[in-house]
Chains A and B, each alone.
Chain A
């Protein structure tokens, strides 16, 4: 019944039938762009395809993908989460304390850290729903609160004697050149694909994002959807934070910059490049994966070409600008009057 009221095609891009629509899809376009850049970089610099660089690339990619997912799940409901970086740092510091000081077993500490991040996300969702204001202002406030509380609690000290087994996991390689972290990211991708494509919950979340008022009238619990998305976002942000901690070898309060704001650009880049709309109701899980891939390949390739590290940020800003502009252009082209009326 739910699938009839909210056909999947409304929100999730349905698998297209026929080559034409397949080739026109965002994902294929992204794949082509990634392939072109990868070829150019591989041609310009042989080091690009070296096993070590591929390993380094896959490790960064894994983290960027999960950061992108953590923002994507809130964009689904038309909200956003400025606090992703702040939540990640706060929860990672809790995880670091549990592992290094409290001496908890690693799996338990990891689960507790993710639970803590999920709780922080839940707080965002709860406040957004209760105060009836946009999640922008709520998460702007909580990014400052979470980060401030974390700094107060840790006095800006890092946990740099984490268990070897934890750090070591992040260094594992598969086939000699793929970081094991990438498989973690792919597992998350698979999980989110299942949620948004196959489950009633995913459709509910999308329907709530597409038109909250209509969803409410049809009996969907829109508030619950908002809270679920924010909780999920907090949990995923923490997972990304833990992966970054493995890469850094320590739980650092500064890993996401001032109040976690360094994560904002990668967090928005991946889903926006992938075709997820900021207005809610439309999500592309695979697009986010590919969007993060494009960003990582570009960053890595440009750095290898000895283009100053600092110019890369400018470049990524331009890419974001280009992506949103292209998205709005494409929407203008595919605009159909009968859709506007419905």
Chain B
């Protein structure tokens, strides 16, 4: 109480569980910058931020679902469906860009609501439900496109995908807004707290008057929205509506939140931790390229990182328990 506010801030920062991650990120950046002069070049930073933009949205889409103690295998399929809808509505129907973008987001929200509603109504594990909807969304995607991309992307979207201010891609705006919004949701709003409560202990949450249905459907809707946003950013970046967008999102979507300290049982997630998790994955990708290492290596490393992160989280948990019972 008597300590000045400055030290309180420092103390609260020191108490954050993402501090270790931040240290890792700083060390990695320092190491890469010292060993690879190209690392800090304007173009490389641009490439890094582009990778971060997309990955962080994918990771947040999964993190919101981890918060309620579930999982969403269909993040990639929703992203892909929103992406080809966005591109298709522009090319085939001739919708103006803002309308097509809104429609893409709406499709994401709709898919998410569907996931949430079915999961809650049937009371089945979200794993099997989202495996089924993954196949439904992907089937829709392939049925509509017949596995052919939409090439005719509006110039405005292409320009948005290419625009940069020095080393900063303009499309970074979208993930930055999303990060802030999700942070506010999780830390400052009733809905976010309710979602975490449902994830931590659904029975206790229900007994204290929280509508589980509302929390679950809202979380899935937000997840769908973020996935759709990621899908449309991918269209802007690739400059075409590729039906395969989202096919390889599964691992990264889980890797970043888990590295960031999310507890898969639900009830505890960290937005900043997840962002740092994405930064670490992006840096690893970049380092492999800079050092000329086989890019296939990244698959192996991502898996190992997930295992390591889960192992460390588990170790902390055991220690915490030991301390509590001591």
Binding site for B on A (CB under 8 A): 80, 127, 131-134, 136-138, 140-149, 151-152, 155-156, 258-259, 261, 264-265, 268, 272, 278, 308, 310-318, 320-321, 324-325, 328
Contact = CB atoms under 8 A, between A and B. Distances in A.
Contacts, number: 134
B36 interface: no
B307 interface: yes
Interface string B116-156: 00100011110111011111111110110011000000000
Contacts of B147: 310
B44 interface: no
Contacts of B122: 324-325, 328
Contact of A317 (B133, B258, B299, B304): B133
A219 B131 CA distance: 36
Given A80-B127, A278-B125, A308-B143, A313 B135 contact: yes
B264 interface: yes
B263 to A, nearest CB: 10
B314 A317 contact: no
A311 B264 CA distance: 33
Given A148-B300, A315-B139, 20 more contacts: A80-B127, A127-B307, A131-B311, A142-B307, A148-B299, A152-B296, A259-B250, A259-B251, A278-B125, A308-B143, A310-B139, A310-B147, A311-B143, A313-B138, A316-B135, A317-B138, A317-B139, A324-B122, A324-B128, A328-B123
B314 A131 contact: yes
A141 B300 CA distance: 9
Contact of B264 (A133, A313, A315): A133
A152 B300 contact: yes
A321 B136 contact: yes
Contacts of A156: 296
A22 B131 CA distance: 31
Interface in B163-214: none
A71 to B, nearest CB: 11
B309 to A, nearest CB: 9
B285 to A, nearest CB: 13
Nearest to A146: B303
Size class of the contact patch on chain B: 35 or more
B118 A321 contact: yes
Contact of A151 (B140, B142, B299, B314): B299
B123 A137 contact: no
B301 interface: yes
Interface string B220-248: 00000000000000000000000000011
B242 to A, nearest CB: 14
14 contacts: A133-B264, A136-B127, A141-B310, A142-B307, A148-B296, A148-B303, A149-B300, A259-B251, A310-B139, A311-B143, A314-B143, A317-B132, A317-B134, A320-B131
B142 A310 contact: yes
Majority secondary structure, A binding face = helix
A127 B304 CA distance: 12
Interface string B294-323: 101111111110110011001000000000
B146 A137 contact: no
B83 interface: no
B312 to A, nearest CB: 11
Nearest to A139: B303
Point out which of A261, A264, A310, A316 has the most chain B C-beta atoms below 10 A from its C-beta. Answer: A310
Nearest to B305: A141
Contacts of A272: 128
A127 B310 CA distance: 11
Contact of A144 (B264, B303, B310): B303
Contacts of A133: 264, 310, 314
B296 A268 contact: no
Contacts of B302: 144, 148
Contacts of A143: 251, 303
B184 to A, nearest CB: 28
A291 to B, nearest CB: 14
A328 B302 CA distance: 35
A262 B251 CA distance: 14
A202 B48 CA distance: 52
